[in-house]
């Protein structure tokens, strides 16, 4: 592959470059008239849902798990006393690479970080729930939030069968486990 920046064409001067800038939204200008290969190949940052610079910094500061179990349970930080733990789950069918994911976050003071993750599309919901249940015991039984779509409800029912009761309910009578996701107009 060969990359040519915006200024290789003879009629493209710095003055031309500055004059054309007025005609473009900032997030598209760099993409359409790049100085570097990175600019040319990067996502359109102004339209991105995520801060690319922050994501890059996070990637540079990431560390591998301290332990991995059965190929899908990743311990990023062992449990500690004095830390409040919360859990979230997104249960998927496992088709097309769609993984079920459970994460546990530790909160200490004003700081929060993900300390454990289960991510796979190879376990049945009941086996996934049993792995989550074992992890919950280690992390002091965190409060769990999960969607109440059919797969999420099956996961929550499996956990309740095992005796896990620190589950978010949508109603005060504790008859609707999980939460309902709703789409927002214009999102």
What per-residue confidence (pLDDT) applies to 157?
97
- Give Cβ neighbours of residue 76 (< 8 Å, ≥ 6 apart): 63, 65, 66, 113, 114, 115, 116, 117
- Give Cβ neighbours of residue 151 (< 8 Å, ≥ 6 apart): 91, 92, 93, 100, 125
Residue 104 forms beta bridges with which residues? 87, 116
pLDDT digits (tens, 9 = 90+) for 66-124: 999 999 999 999 999 999 999 999 999 877 678 999 999 999 999 999 999 999 999 99
Task: Pull the structure tokens for residue 36.
Answer: 């570097």
* Whether residue 27 has pLDDT greater than 80: no
What per-residue confidence (pLDDT) applies to 101?
97
* Whether residue 46 has pLDDT greater than 70: no
What per-residue confidence (pLDDT) applies to 97?
77
pLDDT digits (tens, 9 = 90+) for 109-164: 999 999 999 999 999 999 999 999 999 999 999 999 999 999 999 999 999 999 99
Instruction: State the Cα–Cα distance between residues 115 and 108, nearest whole angstrom.
Output: 12
Which residue did the predictor score with more confidence, 33 or 78? Answer: 78
pTM of the shown model: 0.70
Question: Which segments within 109-151 are labelled E, that is strand?
Answer: 111-120, 143-146
């Amino acid at each position: 592959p060969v990359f040519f920046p915006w200024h290789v064409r003879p009629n493209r001067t710095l003055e031309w470059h500055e004059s054309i800038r007025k005609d473009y939204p900032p997030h598209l200008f760099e993409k359409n008239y790049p100085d570097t290969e990175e600019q040319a190949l990067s996502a359109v940052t102004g339209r991105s849902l995520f801060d690319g610079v922050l994501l890059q910094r996070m990637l540079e500061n990431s560390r591998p798990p301290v332990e991995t179990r059965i190929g899908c349970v990743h311990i990023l930080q062992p449990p500690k006393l004095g830390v409040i733990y919360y859990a979230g789950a997104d249960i998927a069918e496992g088709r097309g690479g769609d993984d079920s994911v459970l994460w546990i976050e530790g909160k200490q003071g004003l700081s929060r970080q993900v300390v454990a993750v289960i991510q796979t599309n190879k376990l049945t919901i009941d086996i996934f729930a049993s792995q989550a249940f074992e992890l919950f015991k280690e992390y002091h039984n965190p409060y769990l939030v999960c969607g109440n779509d059919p797969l999420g409800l099956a996961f929550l029912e499996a956990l309740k069968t095992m005796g896990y009761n620190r589950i978010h309910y949508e109603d005060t009578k504790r008859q609707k486990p999980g939460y309902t996701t709703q789409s927002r107009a214009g999102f």
